[in-house]
Chains A and B, each alone.
Chain A
Amino acid sequence: MKKLCLVIVAFVFLLGNYSFANTSETTDALVTGKWVNKSDGYKVRAGSDETVERYKGIKFEKNQTFVLDSVKMKFSGEWKVIDNILYLEFNDHNIDPKIASFSDEGLIIGNDLYKSYSGAVAGLLNFYEFTGVPNATPGHLLMVLVGVFFIFLAIRYNYEPLLLIPIGFGIIIGNIPFYQAEGFNLKLGIYEEGSVMSYLYFGVRQGIYPPLIFLGIGAMTDFSSLISNPKLMILGAAAQIGIFLTFLGALYLGFSPAEAGAIGIIGGADGPTAIFLSSKLAPHLIGPIAIAAYSYMALVPIIQPPFMKLIVTKKERLIRMKPPRAVSKLEKIMFPVVGLLLTAYISPSALPLLGMLFFGNLLKESTVTKRLADTASNALIDIVTILLGITVGASTQADIFLTPQSLKIFGLGALSFIIATCGGLFFAKLMNVFLKGDNKINPLIGAAGVSAVPDSARVVQHEGLKADPTNHLLMHAMAPNVSGVIGSAVGAGILLSFLM
């Protein structure tokens, strides 16, 4: 009996020793390096359904404490190993204690497998997660290609380079992938609060840049062709049919009335007006609307000519218009004042745009504020164009921009430009029915009613010269062109007052 007791005591002693040695090995393994897990289910941002894989790591210290890094949030607590089972108790008592077990592959906490890496490898994994490579999606790459295509169009074909270069480069900037997670803000992206890009984008979101651009346009524009032949202003109104038919199209496709209004304004072929209206009516659609408006403005030389050839007969294209009369200085000074009073009283919602447009024009025409006019038409508009272009481009972050809605907006935008062009052309033909002799107008200039200053007027000149190399229509086309700017601003004001 005595012997049996000794054997049992010896067995228990040996077992205890083995258990102690085993626990000691486990503890050594635990405190060496860092335990890293990569699992799915992390939301990219609040309210998003998109989830991504993220690393989280636990560092166990010898003093029985641990630190858990989960999506850049740190949790700390205490650990202990009893019978080869790891117990984790968090300092934050809102988090339930966790039990972990060891396996051949690593440490299993809940459903997550943590593997042990040395500190350097864990650091490299962390660095890799912050690079663009693991965060890139096909959408990002597609948008980068779009940006490169814009830059190509601007440099190779000279299509609106002042807009397409900043927008194209902005698209590339906005689609450099980076670490994003809900509740974590690196202050990098345009949609991350506090980032430099988001501060610059503030001017777009709040509709600050468009009036400043209009100030510059006003200070650059010579309204004399319009004042000398005021009836051409009606063409600018006729082309605005593009806005309202697109509005109907957007409603038909299931957009809400406010969204439909913001999409419809693409038909005004006026980037600043489109941004201004969408910032008020549908701020979440600013990106696609602005990109659609500016892209189609740049593509005016491609969109308009086929419809001009289709609608205007060869005989009509040869019509020579009376040269515009010289406009007196008094008329030029009166135009911005009277123009503002008449249009803003009808559509006060467009006051920020119309007010700045006519103010800029008065700076120019008064001839006594040359310095201000110079600043507005050079330095100021250049600065705002740079900021507007780069931020609008950067707002096309693939995960937010590439949606079915964006595709619909692009389709509607193309349609709106076509409708607006055709509206102007048909109305010019209609006007010719009532005009006699040398008062007849060349219907090609109707296409310039779509705004898109001065590209559509240039297209008219180009098409006119194709029909008759001595028939210069540029000055005549500038009249409906600038009246299109006024018309689209008034249209924006009307939509704003109807839909806001």
Chain B
Amino acid sequence: MISVIAKTGTDFSMVAGFGVTTAIVGWLIVFAALVLLVIVFTQIPKLIYYNTRKKLKVKNKSAVVTDDELHITGDVNAAIAMALYMFFDEMHDEESNVITIKRVRKTYSPWSSKIYGLRVWPRK
């Protein structure tokens, strides 16, 4: 297996010439690809919210619509969702409020024991 490896030793001209060029160009291309994504995804929300921005401007001509007004953060969303959940959760029928507790007793049998089952997973 070792013999497959080309044992060329250290070729400094290879490292300095081909190696450095490949490394710099390669890294720059990775950078370029991701910078391109950054540019595109910075502009996409502006395009998506273009109509909303336009409508808001029509309603209130003097208003300046900022990005912060259009973009809602996660915690604001969570607060709205919680409020809605609490509101809808309270909408239910009247209940009798009588709670009955029934005693249930089962006869133990090793045949139905869960302790000796084959499907018990080890616990930490």
Taking beta carbons and an 8 Å cutoff, which residues of A are in contact with B?
A: 47-48, 226-228, 230-231, 233-234, 236-238, 240-241, 243-245, 247-248, 251-257, 259-260, 284-285, 322-326, 328, 330-331, 334-335, 338-339, 342-343, 346-347, 400, 403-405, 483, 486-487, 490-491, 494-495, 498-499
Contact = CB atoms under 8 A, between A and B. Distances in A.
Nearest to B9: A254
Q: Pick the 6 closest A-B CB pairs, nearest first.
A: A325-B71, A244-B23, A230-B41, A237-B34, A256-B6, A251-B19
B117 interface: no
Given A490-B29, A491-B26, A230 B38 contact: yes
The interface size bin for chain B is 35 or more
B99 interface: no
Given A338-B41, A405-B2, A486-B34, 11 more contacts: A244-B24, A244-B26, A245-B23, A251-B14, A252-B19, A254-B9, A256-B5, A324-B74, A346-B33, A491-B26, A498-B26
Nearest to B71: A325
B97 to A, nearest CB: 40
Contacts of A498: 22, 25-26
A65 B108 CA distance: 74
A328 B46 CA distance: 12
A411 to B, nearest CB: 15
Interface string B14-46: 110011101111110111111111101110110
A319 B5 CA distance: 48
Nearest to B76: A326
Contacts of B24: 244
B50 to A, nearest CB: 12
A234 B34 contact: yes
Nearest to B38: A230
17 contacts: A47-B3, A237-B27, A254-B9, A256-B8, A257-B19, A259-B5, A259-B6, A284-B4, A323-B75, A331-B44, A331-B48, A338-B41, A346-B29, A346-B32, A491-B26, A494-B30, A499-B22
A339 B73 contact: no
B113 interface: no
B48 A233 contact: no
Interface string B82-121: 0000000000000000000000000000000000000000
Contacts of B25: 498
Given A47-B3, A342-B40, A248 B31 contact: no
B74 A323 contact: yes
Nearest to B35: A234
Nearest to A405: B5
**Chain B interface secondary structure, helix, strand, loop or mixed?**
helix
A404 B34 CA distance: 37
B72 interface: yes
B1 interface: yes
A373 to B, nearest CB: 22
B123 interface: no
Contacts of B22: 244, 247, 257, 495, 498-499
Contacts of A252: 10, 15, 19
B19 A342 contact: no
A324 B32 CA distance: 24
B10 to A, nearest CB: 5
Nearest to A247: B23
A226 B40 CA distance: 12
Nearest to B124: A155
Given A244-B26, A491-B26, A231 B38 contact: yes
Contact of B37 (A245, A328, A339, A403): A339
Given A251-B19, A335-B41, A237 B35 contact: yes
